Structure 1
Amino acid sequence: MLTKVEDGRPELRSAPASACTTKSESGAAEPLRTHDHDAFYHNLDRHLHYLLARTTAGVSPAACANAYFDWAIHLATSPGRQLELFGEAVHQWTRLADFAKAAALAGADATPCILPRLNDKRFRSERWKEFPFNVYGQSFLLWEEWWHSAVTGVRGVEKQNAERLDFMMRQVLDVYAPTNFLLTNPDVLLRTQAEAGFNLVRGLWNFLEDLKRLRDREGPDGSENYRVGETVAVTPGKVIFRNHLIELIQYTPATPEVHPEPILIIPAWIMKFYILDLRPENSLVKYLTDQGFTVFMVSWRNPGQEDRDTSFEDYRRLGVMAAIDAVSKVVGGQKIHAAGYCLGGTLLATAAAAMALDNDDRLKTVTFLAAQADFREAGELTLFIDESQISFLEDMMQEQGFLDSTQMAGAFQLLRSNDLIWSHVINRYLLGERKPAFDLLAWNADATRMPYRMHSDYLRSLFLNNDLAEGRYTVDGRAIALTDLHMPIFALGTETDHVAPWRSVYKFNILSDTDVTFVLASGGHNAGVVSPPGSPGRSYRMATKFEDDSFESPDEWHANAPKFEGSWWPAWTDWLGERSSKKSAPPLMGASRDGLEPLENAPGTYVYQR
């Protein structure tokens, strides 16, 4: 407290004891608990960040601002680069002017001055070659090219900041693409003229219906035709084990004899398991049972706020290890073919490495389907992962107790905004078309939540710090390493995967000291995995790197690996069959002697949780 001294200057003196104490119920003086004040301020920040996150779809404004200012400061101090960009802009305008002149004279025969990226489908219609629409399209592509050069070519900018800003600018530019507007999209104009504008009326009704479905948290139109247990997830089986995190499904054998070694599938907890058991025509589970395998599937519980403190280690222990223990009891100690899909593969990798450390040899082979263990090159998802972004997500999840499925879906849609956002805007609201939902789309809308602590563990330890790949991840206080895996590995990547890029999946060739069969299938993260025999246009490359072989880079492997037409499913079952014993009578459902009585019919109860 401040008091006056003789010269009039204030003096700082200690406050009396009564000012720094509180009275307890007994009347005794107690010191103020300063940590209560700290907790108040900390919780205030968290709550404000949570409210902000609800308006930004979970994207950290600080991370975005940091990327922008890093670029802007370096560009402001680089006059040479500024002059270079000015020259590029003049050159772009000159190219566009020359093209516009040629297009006005030659129309659709004018040679374009720039071509869209290979995965950009917006300008593929023949009408985009007609004047003046070809000029609209060329001006947009030149504008897009200039901005890419501007944000990625400034010396001194952090690589992640440059890539993040490039991503942000693409999202902004995509909003103003000429394909998104009535007067600049020739296909929409032609449809509007032909239907006297009724396509726009239908588009308005589609928009209002989508708003209602979003408000009511309903799936896309037509998804009600795909009902779990009735039209999808119908492969017969029994739930033979249940704990707080999982139900374990054992599927009914489809052949008189089966391989003694069963297949245990660990799907990602971010999704419902039945992506691998859709309709009978495209069910991987049914295909495996038809090939003479005993199949087990983990069905994850959909966590709520009460599960906020469930950790990544809980998922390993109560998920993978509990399932392995149960399967071992059913099959009488036979070794297991374990397969993990997406995040389920990452979790399986940690479990398998921990088992190796304990000399637990119950796994016969390990299969990773579109799964990663090294996250240094995890594609555009890494743009969302840094300290600022993770802290922001943690504040949001701390308030909720989990990361909601809609919050995750927004980030994934931004990664492919042209295909997943703007193409729907054009088709539904401008052309007035509404394609009925198919099984994979209906499944995609049936997402799950992720507990706060588990997702924080995953983002920090695995994604941000890359602890598993670099030997720092610990289980029960001991560091684990994938180099301890000595069973054969089958790793699948898909060509257009934006969640687990195939070059990242390919790193299992570096991370393990064993035989690795790598397959690169056509398609994306979901459709490339759900690829039954008979699907049109499917193909894959496949080659095995044996333990003593020299390493090939991903591009060398791609150039050398033979290409096969059709689905990769038969190749996988052949690979599993070669590493399995002679077929014999199938095991009983469950293991009554060990307390694993069948509880109910597949698909169980956890899959219905919302």
Structure 2
Amino acid sequence: MYSYAMLAQMISDSIVRYQEGLMKTQELMRKNDVSVGSTPHDVIYVGRKIRLLHYKPVIDAKNLHPIPVIVTYALINKYYILDLQEDRSFVGNLIKQGFDVYMVDWGTPEPIDKHLTFDDYIGRYLDRLVDMVRDRSGAEKVTLLGYCQGGTMSIMYTALKQEKVANLVTIAPVIDTEKDTSVVANLCKSIDADRIIDTYGNLPAEFLHRFYMMLKPFSQGMYKYINLLDNLDDEYFVSNFLRVEKWLFDTPAIAGGLFKQWINDIYKGNLLVKGKFVLCGKRIDLKSIEVPLLNIVASDDHLVSPECSIPLNYHVSSEDKMLRVYNCGHIGLIASKLSQSKVLPEVGKWLRSKSSKRLEQIR
């Protein structure tokens, strides 16, 4: 057993090591050009700080799968978590499998954007980007692939504009928040979004930094820096660490109007599952969704409880729907060895089967 003196000394040593690791991280970030989002792409649209990226195929264009894939990430943090490094790039893997991949970069809202809501982001911006991809590719419909909040937004869009969507792939979407027992959900259900936004206009990025620290204060706020000190000689470990650190702190503000809806309507009201969420004047009914659905969930997700994501399969009317649960965490679904070896191959196999059916219909 440890004496109080021994425990006090261990805590003191840990604090010192944490401070050393934090200072070392700051030094390495200053000295190194931390490259992210390096998969070759063209920026084919820029408007209102939103960009549409088109990734360059690695196979002959005529052999690409006929249905383009539009990837939508959350408005929290930046899209390049899906392209963090070459050997664990989500979009890079899809490209190698022969898919025509586009990515939405939502950008960073400014004070003037404080009134933007889901009506703007989904009904205007995402719809415009979908039409651009349809025109550019010549495809009648697209596959929407959404991660986290981006998955929820892809679901909303599909219910609103189903005639433009061929397939829907969702990864850890926020759906039934009454069943979400995560720390994130508990915090979202307890905060006063109206007061925050009335004070600040948009949700400040600093709020999100502190929010993430509260989720895992020791593993994310202390021990990871100690772990860095123990692995300074491992160049691969250090480069990966710096990329993730860059992503964690590269947090945009969130438009005030949308943030209020996200907290009040989705988390507190659970209106999406109840069929009471209104988008562009239309009540979003999950039962109206009939397109093929692949819903991917992490069993150890600490950001979105699997019990929150799984109900999507019960609420849509799609006859062709699949649920896959992987033994990993939230980020593990899209930026890990497991993602590369298991998740993405299954996504590719599922999408290829839909492309084959589409080709048969065209013929």
With normalisation by structure 1, the TM-score equals: 0.53
Whichever residue aligns with residue 186 of structure 2, its letter is L
Whichever residue aligns with residue 325 of structure 2, its letter is L
Distance in 1, matches of 2:28 and 2:52, equals: 29
The answer on 1:570 being equivalent to 2:345 is yes
Q: Which residue of 2 is the match for residue 313 of structure 1?
A: 119
Q: Of 166, 181, 188, which aligns to 1:385? A: 188
Distance in 1, matches of 2:32 and 2:51, equals: 22
Indicate how the Cα distance of structure 1 residues 373 and 279 shifts in structure 2: closer, same or farther if over 3 A, else same: same
CA deviation vs aligned residue, 1:567-604 (integer Å, no higher than 9, x gap): 211011011011104999xxxxxxxxxxxxxxxxxxxx
Whichever residue aligns with residue 69 of structure 2, its letter is I
> Are the counterparts in 2 of residues 390 and 460 from structure 1 also a CA contact under 8 Å?
no
Q: Which residue of 2 is the match for residue 418 of structure 1?
A: 218
Q: Which residue of 1 is the match for residue 317 of structure 2?
A: 513
More off after superposition, 290-299 vs 508-517:
508-517
Whichever residue aligns with residue 167 of structure 2, its letter is T
Distance in 1, matches of 2:7 and 2:343, equals: 42
Instruction: Name the SS for the 1:530 alignment partner.
Output: coil
Q: 1:347, CA displacement in angstroms?
A: 1.0
Distance in 2, matches of 1:355 and 1:238, equals: 26
More off after superposition, 485-494 vs 374-383:
374-383
Whichever residue aligns with residue 7 of structure 2, its letter is T
Q: Which residue of 2 is the match for residue 240 of structure 1?
A: 44
Q: Of 260, 276, 279, which aligns to 1:472? A: 276
Indicate how the Cα distance of structure 1 residues 371 and 530 shifts in structure 2: closer, same or farther if over 3 A, else same: same
Instruction: Name the SS for the 1:472 alignment partner.
Output: coil
Q: 1:270, CA displacement in angstroms?
A: 0.7
Q: Of 332, 343, 357, which aligns to 2:149? A: 343
Q: 1:227, CA displacement in angstroms?
A: 4.6
> Are the counterparts in 2 of residues 259 and 583 from structure 1 also a CA contact under 8 Å?
no
Q: Which residue of 1 is the match for residue 103 of structure 2?
A: 297
Indicate how the Cα distance of structure 1 residues 200 and 440 shifts in structure 2: closer, same or farther if over 3 A, else same: closer
Summarize the alignment of residues 128-139 of structure 1 with structure 2, pairs less than 5 Å apart. Answer: 132-133=1-2
Summarize the alignment of residues 85-234 of structure 1 with structure 2, pairs less than 5 Å apart. Answer: 132-133=1-2, 183-184=6-7, 205-206=20-21, 209=23, 220=26, 222-223=28-29, 227=33, 231-234=35-38
Q: Which residue of 2 is the match for residue 530 of structure 1?
A: 335
Q: Which residue of 1 is the match for residue 235 of structure 2?
A: none
Whichever residue aligns with residue 349 of structure 1, its letter is I
> Are the counterparts in 2 of residues 385 and 464 from structure 1 also a CA contact under 8 Å?
yes
Name the count of aligned residue pairs: 348
Q: Which residue of 2 is the match for residue 449 of structure 1?
A: 253
Distance in 2, matches of 1:278 and 1:373, equals: 26
Whichever residue aligns with residue 348 of structure 2, its letter is T
Indicate how the Cα distance of structure 1 residues 204 and 468 shifts in structure 2: closer, same or farther if over 3 A, else same: closer
Q: 1:186, CA displacement in angstroms?
A: 8.3
Distance in 1, matches of 2:201 and 2:231, equals: 36
Q: 1:498, CA displacement in angstroms?
A: 1.2
The answer on 1:459 being equivalent to 2:263 is yes
> Are the counterparts in 1 of residues 78 and 105 from structure 2 also a CA contact under 8 Å?
yes
Distance in 1, matches of 2:112 and 2:134, equals: 31
Q: Which residue of 2 is the match for residue 36 of structure 1?
A: none
Indicate how the Cα distance of structure 1 residues 205 and 440 shifts in structure 2: closer, same or farther if over 3 A, else same: closer
Distance in 2, matches of 1:434 and 1:528, equals: 25
> Are the counterparts in 2 of residues 203 and 433 from structure 1 also a CA contact under 8 Å?
no
> Are the counterparts in 2 of residues 262 and 337 from structure 1 also a CA contact under 8 Å?
yes
Q: 1:448, CA displacement in angstroms?
A: 1.3
Q: Which residue of 2 is the match for residue 400 of structure 1?
A: 200
> Are the counterparts in 2 of residues 246 and 318 from structure 1 also a CA contact under 8 Å?
no
Q: Which residue of 1 is the match for residue 354 of structure 2?
A: 579
The answer on 1:329 being equivalent to 2:131 is no
Whichever residue aligns with residue 333 of structure 2, its letter is G
Distance in 1, matches of 2:65 and 2:315, equals: 29
Distance in 2, matches of 1:474 and 1:404, equals: 26
**Unpaired segments of 5 or more residues in structure 1?**
1-131, 137-177, 193-198, 211-218, 540-564, 585-610
Distance in 1, matches of 2:41 and 2:167, equals: 24
Q: 1:365, CA displacement in angstroms?
A: 0.6
Distance in 2, matches of 1:188 and 1:390, equals: 32
Task: Give percent identity, aligned residues only.
Answer: 23
Q: Which residue of 1 is the match for residue 175 of structure 2?
A: 373
CA deviation vs aligned residue, 1:394-421 (integer Å, no higher than 9, x gap): 3233222211222123223222233223
**Unpaired segments of 5 or more residues in structure 2?**
233-237
Q: CA RMSD in A?
A: 3.0
Instruction: Name the SS for the 2:139 alignment partner.
Output: coil
The answer on 1:364 being equivalent to 2:166 is yes
Instruction: Name the SS for the 1:376 alignment partner.
Output: helix
Greater per-residue helix proportion: 2
Q: 1:369, CA displacement in angstroms?
A: 1.0
Indicate how the Cα distance of structure 1 residues 205 and 571 shifts in structure 2: closer, same or farther if over 3 A, else same: closer
Q: Which residue of 2 is the match for residue 80 of structure 1?
A: none
Distance in 1, matches of 2:153 and 2:15, equals: 47
